[in-house]
Chains A and B, each alone.
Chain A
């Protein structure tokens, strides 16, 4: 519903979409690949410093217990062991870990007094080798007094006394309860003709990067300064908080990024690992490497995914228009609460999906249990609300006999309605949902598959065609970190991205980014955009990553923001350089700067044949020939620019939070259509086809975007069919290894996810780019659930929980057959 009282800031777009481009929009090969594919990337574990020690942790075998005593004497006595520190010893040198909730939930890198989940560090060791460190860990004797383990948030939320994880925060495990209501929910439900209800379940899974979190720390006692190499993101944004934890002034900590071997969100902001290595470095006076092993990462990475129970209702009017939705959600946050309920901010940014739904209510209860805490995982909680929205749409269709394609089409926000405010106050900048749907239907040959499905059913085969039309919010604004909390602690509003661009004397460029490589293609993207803007050859551009000493403001990848934000910063920097090039060239060519243009790596005077200077010539002049130019400051030596780009479109939430403001507006969209066949006797799901059409605005590189879509889809398949952390009643994690935590392999993922694109440029970002980093995982789960339900229609099976493992699916079929 368009609300005129809501303000849309003016667009700051400088580079318009639709211009003729040379690089943007091409399948340029990734510039990162040669060194990565030849094994020459430098990951955290490749960092080696003379005299370096290796750390290991002793982790808690209990989910919830008091620590009565710790005896480290045997461990200390083991030859090769240099330091053993308990939580108490660590607490003498460090404060709590950074936490973004308010009031904060105190978390220490090594537990003191009480352990709250299996795998939580209880003691840390630095030794001459990791082997010795682990041997030492086994020699530490800890006496625990077990406390009741909280495994089910629906029970944990009622626990008091011994079962409460953080008594200091009150006698409850409810970390936060909030009710958000936008628009006239009660009125809309009262006037609804039909209402569909579902209880939906989204199980906990995790990102599983190939490389775990790791850090190498050095402490220089002469200067009192720490240097930490770490594979974390966001260090140029909130990395300074680690200095606070380490008890040193912020300028006494330099964080040097290493490339990350996969993150998918889970390395958004690594705090425990660098602090453990740093405190041991300080204690021992030697550099210390701490690299999580697989168990550490699975059990204690602080970045498990969402774990939610929904009760949901969707109201339809007499025209089969969706008019309102309300849901109660219980979210199992685990033992700590580092990001508050930011995951639900993600959900609320697009909770009504691509549909015109006038009101919405979300009642959110965040509960603490004895599990690893939630963090970021591709989608950051909005993948769950996509699943919920699409499940409700499918539920309405199946319950009321509506056609899933036409029902969606009818309820879509129409292309002419953009920019469009959804009830929560977030704005969708642009979109063309019918075009995406049509393209997917056509690419899949929807009617053809419906026929094949009919034929197959005659032979007793069960083919299902899935459909999900969902949003991919991109480019978060910092307001989402705190706006769901009425008593926000630190109500920040900046989420900038900076770049430095330097043209060297020979005319080549170095771009410095403020966030690390973490599996995406930041170098390729930055190279393409600068090459475009300065008409340079990409081969003459290289990309590097700033440490915090030299870095400027930068938030880093996350929430599918990096390409949009870096593009903005590069355009700014490039404009500065362009201006200087024009100034220099104009002086040398006896023209006015306004007459100049860039063409093919040269600056020339418009319309004057032969009057041109190459960027290389001008760069040499700019660096070494100061006396060739007038003695005014704009001609001062050098050719570089440092620029920061702020969020292109964001506003403050209202005081009463009836309006959350614009916080996640650069809105992508997707339509996923899998075709599956189910062996109803074994519950095995096989993919026969898979089409994914995405609209992420102007595409910088279709090839790398398709890689994102396919990889995300593979992870979505994991969430839909295979992956779940299985915590037992006593809080033990039963599948904390890759034999039992089932990740889909190449055999379980369709050989060809056919990717299509529709381009609806953003009116607010440079070139009209939107984010596209999380899409696959945000669309595949509801699409697969829908395909499974479609295949099993003859049994009336409902895909109301994920993952639908073969055993679970067969169970549903067995039940349905018994009931028939």
Chain B
């Protein structure tokens, strides 16, 4: 289980990393925390001929709030983000969801940037960032561009980031005061990738749900925000029957497939259950916060 032969370059700046990628072409890969790339290389699933290690770029490891936006450097580790006061105050949903991501040791090395560039369809953070209306800052030879999460994730293991580009920052608008949110997943073991996960945010104004964000992983080929479900809830009162219908709608709009851990029928059951649970929990949370 050794990787195929490869060259190694330790980047000393973002510019150096991007320039090296540009010079080398398709066969080069960035290395951040290595928690996805290294196992893939050991299993022969990734065979880069040049590894550009950006793990040393500590100036990209920040987590801070600025002008109502949580700004996360691409090289901040999962644990840094999970434990940062900035995350807890601006985007508590992120912190809640992090409890389902991997194990302590993995989170100690793995970065959010690496996680979303890897874009595993079963991964939690792509969904959570999508629901949080995050945007990603991508740097290339010709400068920077900012891509909304909704457009960033193209397909399984495929993002907007081009081979000679690097993700540098994740920006998440702070969650509104009083909004309800919930994240739930079913995985075989704690810390495993989810079989199905569901996330939801919403506010309740004058008895009506508003700014509803709802989505799932494991319900189809890739991370998805389910706008039909959001539309059904937007503007309506949060009664149990409606939430159950919304969960049913999520089921109807899912097209999961079988794999060795779960068949499609099981995934559909989980879509129903997880959807209902997160919707109910988010509503409950707004109710609680309203009472304060």
Q: Are B1 and A740 in contact (CB under 8 A)?
A: no
0/1 string, A135-163, CB within 8 A of B gives 1 = 10010000000000000000000000000
For the complex, what is the distance from the CA of A684 to the CA of B188, rounded to whole Å?
A: 8
Flag if A682 contacts B273 (CB, 8 Å): yes
Asked if A293 contacts B263 (CB within 8 A), the reply is: no
Q: Please provide the chain A residues from 415 to 447 with a CB less than 8 Å away from any CB of chain B in the complex.
A: none
- Please judge, given known A-B contacts A735-B260, A742-B188, A747-B191, whether A294 and B266 are in contact too, CB under 8 Å: no
List, in ascending order, chain A residues with CB within 8 A of B265's CB: 811, 814
Given A682-B270, A737-B43, A807-B195: A294 and B1 interface contact (C-beta under 8 Å): yes
> Among the interface residues A681, A682, A722, A748, which one has the most CB atoms of the partner chain B within 10 A?
A682
Question: Within the complex, what minimum Cβ distance (angstroms) separates A586 from chain B?
Answer: 62
Given contacts A745-B191, A747-B189, contact A807 B263 (CB under 8 A): yes
Chain A residues lying within 8 Å of B5, measured Cβ to Cβ, are: 131, 135
Residues in A neighbouring B261, C-beta threshold 8 A? 740, 742, 805, 807
Question: Is A295 in the interface zone, CB < 8 Å from B?
Answer: yes
How does the 8 Å CB contact mask read for B1-31 relative to A, with 1 for contact and 0 for none?
1101100000000000000000000000000
A69 to B95, CA, bound (A): 57
Complex CA distance for A780 and B4, rounded to whole angstroms: 42
Contacts A744-B189, A807-B262, A811-B265 given; indicate if A130 touches B273 (C-beta within 8 A).
Answer: no
Contacts of B186 in A (CB 8 A): 682, 684, 806
A812 to chain B, nearest CB (A): 11
B255 at the interface (CB under 8 A from A): no
Query: Residues of B contacting A748 with CB < 8 Å?
Result: 189-190
Q: How many residues of B contact A (CB 8 A)?
A: 23
**A134 in contact (CB, < 8 A):** yes
Q: Are B260 and A726 in contact (CB under 8 A)?
A: yes
Q: A798 an interface residue at 8 Å Cβ cutoff?
A: no
Looking at A130, A683, A805, A810, which has the most chain B CB atoms within 10 Å of its CB?
Answer: A810
- Chain B hits for A745, CB < 8 A: 189-191
Query: Chain B residues near A294 (CB, 8 Å)?
Result: 1
Q: Tell me if B269 is interfacial: C-beta within 8 Å of chain A.
A: yes
* Mask: chain B, 247-290; 1 = CB below 8 Å from A; 0 = not: 00000000000001111011001101100000000000000000
Interface status of A734 (Cβ within 8 A of chain B):
yes
Q: Flag if A138 contacts B4 (CB, 8 Å).
A: yes
CB 8 Å contact bits of A745-775 with B (1 = contact, 0 = none)? 1011000000000000000000000000000
In the assembled complex, the Cα of A14 lies from the Cα of B104 at a distance in Å of 53
Contact B273 A681 (CB under 8 A): yes
Task: Out of B4, B43, B189, B269, name the residue touching A742 (CB < 8 Å).
Answer: B189
Please encode chain A, from 798 to 820, with 1 for each CB lying within 8 Å of some chain B CB and 0 for all others.
Answer: 00000001110011001000000
Given A130-B2, A134-B2, A740-B261, A722–B188 Cβ distance below 8 Å? Answer: yes
Q: Can you list, as one digit per residue, whether each of B186-206 has a CB less than 8 Å from chain A (1) or not (0)?
A: 101111100100000000000
Chain B residue nearest in CB terms to A680 = B273
Q: Which partner residue on chain B sits nearest A134 by CB separation?
A: B2
The count of residues in chain A whose C-beta lies closer than 8 Å to any C-beta of chain B is: 30
Chain B nearest CB: distance from A184 CB in Å?
46
Cβ-defined contact, A811 with B266, below 8 A = yes
**Cα(A198)–Cα(B80), bound, Å:** 54
Q: Of all chain B residues, which has the CB nearest A296? A: B1
For residue A741, give the distance in angstroms from its CB to the closest CB of chain B. Answer: 10
Q: How far is the CA of A810 from the CA of B189 in the complex (A)?
A: 16
Q: Which residues of A contact B190 (CB under 8 A)?
A: 745, 747-748
Q: Which of B190-236 contact A (CB under 8 A)?
A: 190-192, 195
Nearest CB to that of A737 among chain B residues? B43
With the chains together, A135 CA to B47 CA distance in Å?
Answer: 12
CB interface residues, A 672-703, toward B, < 8 Å: 681-684
How many angstroms between the C-alpha atoms of A135 and B265 in the bound complex?
A: 42
The one of B2, B39, B266 that contacts A810, using a Cβ cutoff of 8 Å: B266
With A726-B260, A742-B188, A748-B189 known as contacts, the answer to whether A814 contacts B269 (CB < 8 A) is yes
Contacts of A806 in B (CB 8 A): 186, 188, 195, 266
Chain A residues with CB under 8 Å of B270's CB are: 682
**CA separation between A681 and B247, bound complex, in Å?**
14
A734 to B258, CA, bound (A): 13
A205 CB, nearest partner CB in chain B, Å: 14
B6 to chain A, nearest CB (A): 11
A807 to B261, CA, bound (A): 7
* Chain B residues within an 8 Å CB radius of A810: 266, 269
Q: Which residues of A contact B273 (CB under 8 A)?
A: 681-682
Question: A134 vs B43: C-alpha distance in the bound complex, in angstroms?
Answer: 12
Roughly how many angstroms separate A748 CA and B1 CA in the complex, as a whole number? 28
Q: Once the chains bind, are B1 and A293 in contact (CB under 8 Å)?
A: yes
- A684: B residues at CB distance < 8 A: 186
CA distance A32 to B192 in the complex (A): 33
Contacts of A742 in B (CB 8 A): 188-189, 192, 261
Give A541 to B178 CA distance when docked, in angstroms: 68
Min C-beta distance of A736 to chain B, whole Å: 10
Q: Are A740 and B266 in contact, with the CB atoms below 8 A?
A: no
In the complex the two chains form, what is the Cα distance from A682 to B277 in whole Å? 12
A684 to B196, CA, bound (A): 13
B266 CB contacts on chain A under 8 angstroms: 683, 806-807, 810-811
A683 to B188, CA, bound (A): 10
B191 touches A734 (CB 8 A): no
Chain B residues contacting A726 (CB-CB under 8 Å) are 260
Complex-state Cα separation, A737 to B44, whole angstroms:
13
Q: Give B219 Cβ to nearest chain A Cβ, in Å.
A: 15
Complex alpha-carbon distance, A443 and B43, angstroms: 47
B147 to chain A, nearest CB (A): 29
Q: In the complex, which residues of chain A have a beta carbon less than 8 angstroms from the beta carbon of B39?
A: 739
Check B269 against A131 for contact (C-beta < 8 Å).
no
Closest residue of B by beta carbon distance from A735: B260
Least CB separation from B258: chain A residue: A807
Which residues of chain A come closer than 8 Å to B188, judged between CB atoms?
722, 742, 805-806
Residue of A nearest to B196 (CB): A682
B99: shortest Cβ distance to chain A, in Å?
12
Could you tell me if B269 and A681 are in contact, using CB atoms closer than 8 angstroms?
A: yes
Query: What's the least CB distance linking B37 to chain A, in Å?
Result: 14
- Report Cα–Cα, A810/B261, bound state, in Å: 12
A744 to B191, CA, bound (A): 11
Of all chain A residues, the one with the shortest Cβ separation from B270 is A682
B113 nearest CB across to chain A (Å): 22
Q: How distant is the Cα of A739 from the Cα of B272 in the complex, in angstroms?
A: 26
- A278 CB to closest chain B CB, in angstroms? 23
A578 CA to B270 CA in the complex, in Å? 69
Query: How long is the Cα–Cα vector from A138 to B3 in the complex, in angstroms?
Result: 11
Min Cβ gap B269→A in Å is 6
A747 to B187, CA, bound (A): 12
What is the CA–CA distance of A744 and B262 in the complex, to the nearest angstrom?
Answer: 17
Given A134-B2, A293-B1, CB of A734 within 8 Å of CB of B269: no
Shortest Cβ distance from residue A207 to the other chain B in the assembled complex, whole angstroms:
19
Residue numbers in B under 8 Å from A295 (CB-CB): 1
Q: Determine the residue in chain B with the shortest Cβ distance to A745.
A: B189
**B residues 30-59 touching A (CB-CB < 8 Å):** 39, 43
8 Å CB interface, A279-295 against B: 293-295
Q: How far is the CB of A662 from chain B (nearest CB, A)?
A: 43
Chain B residue nearest in CB terms to A681: B273
**When chains A and B are docked, how far (Å) is the Cα of A131 from the Cα of B43?**
13
| Distance (whole angstroms) from the CB of A219 to the closest CB of chain B | 26
CB–CB B1/A135 < 8 A: no
Residues of A within 8 A of B263 (CB): 807, 811
Give me the 4 closest cross-chain CB pairs, A-B, nearest first.
Answer: A747-B190, A681-B273, A293-B1, A807-B266
**What are 20 contact pairs spanning A and B, CB under 8 A?**
A130-B2, A134-B2, A135-B4, A295-B1, A682-B273, A722-B188, A735-B260, A740-B260, A742-B188, A742-B189, A747-B190, A748-B190, A805-B188, A806-B186, A807-B195, A807-B262, A807-B266, A810-B269, A811-B265, A811-B266
**Other contacts beyond A131-B2, A294-B1: 17, CB < 8 A:** A131-B5, A295-B1, A681-B272, A682-B186, A682-B273, A740-B260, A740-B261, A742-B189, A742-B192, A747-B190, A748-B189, A748-B190, A806-B186, A810-B266, A811-B263, A814-B265, A814-B269
